[in-house]
Amino acid sequence: MYAAAESGIYCPLCMTDGMAQLIDRHAWQSDRDRLLPHIYTNDPTQFYTGAMFLTEKSGGSDVGANEVQATHLYDDYYALNGEKWFCSNADAPLIVALARTRPDVSGTAGLSIFFDRAHPTRRQPKPNRSDTLER
Ligand SMILES: Cc1cc2nc3c(=O)[nH]c(=O)nc-3n(C[C@H](O)[C@H](O)[C@H](O)COP(=O)(O)OP(=O)(O)OC[C@H]3O[C@@H](n4cnc5c(N)ncnc54)[C@H](O)[C@@H]3O)c2cc1C
């Protein structure tokens, strides 16, 4: 009922729920400690929503056809190059994105999921970023 009534809020809430589970199960402990309190909070001033940049023009239902490339920079940091096609909550402070770490491996096996470091004021430019949003 809620989804039918207000899809504009429902989508970001669903992605935030997915983000919470992703962080809870797979993030480093330091990131869990830092981020989960901002999801499991009743204080709207502290609340972070989540966003997922998965879909590309080449890969909607067939996410294994995705082409955005991940290039290793240093340690656990990668640069993602390419175009994502759809995001319901693009200004979210918490963002994950799918990108291809193994160009030689086709399908979903060559994809990895990346965490864009959390930024509570996403609208402010981050240093060393070159991403643009088309609305
Ligand atoms: C409201 C909304 C919010 C979204 N939010 C996000 C978001 O936040 N982040 C994000 O990454 N993406 C988002 N998406 C994109 C969404 O993930 C894609 O639209 C979805 O994966 C389908 O891909 P597509 O649109 O390219 O359609 P296609 O994959 O091109 O499918 C087109 C049609 O073909 C059918 N079809 C496809 N493959 C097959 C098959 N093998 N057999 C039979 N039929 C098939 C489909 O059922 C569909 O009817 C959102 C989409 C919508 C509508």
Domain positions in the chain: 2-116
Compute, in angstroms, the gap from residue 86 CA to the centroid of ligand 1. 10
pLDDT per residue as tens digits for the range 56-110: 999 899 999 999 999 999 998 899 999 999 888 888 889 999 999 999 999 999 9
CA distances to 28, 46, 48, 57, 80 from 24, in Å? 9, 18, 15, 30, 24
Protein residue with least CA distance to atom 11, ligand 1: 54
Between the CA of 60 and the centroid of ligand 1 the distance, in Å, is 5
| Residue 123, pLDDT above cutoff 50 | no
The answer regarding whether domain 2-116 maps to CATH 2.40.110.20 reads yes
Instruction: Say what the pLDDT of residue 135 is.
Output: 75
Buried b / exposed e along 77-108 (16+ C-beta atoms within 10 A)? ebebeeebeebebeebbbbbbbbbeeeeeeee
CB of 53 sitting under 6 A from ligand 1: yes
pTM higher than 0.85: yes
Percentage with pLDDT > 90 across the chain: 64
| Residue nearest atom 19 of ligand 1, based on CA coordinates | 60
Q: Is the CB of 8 under 6 A from ligand 1?
A: no
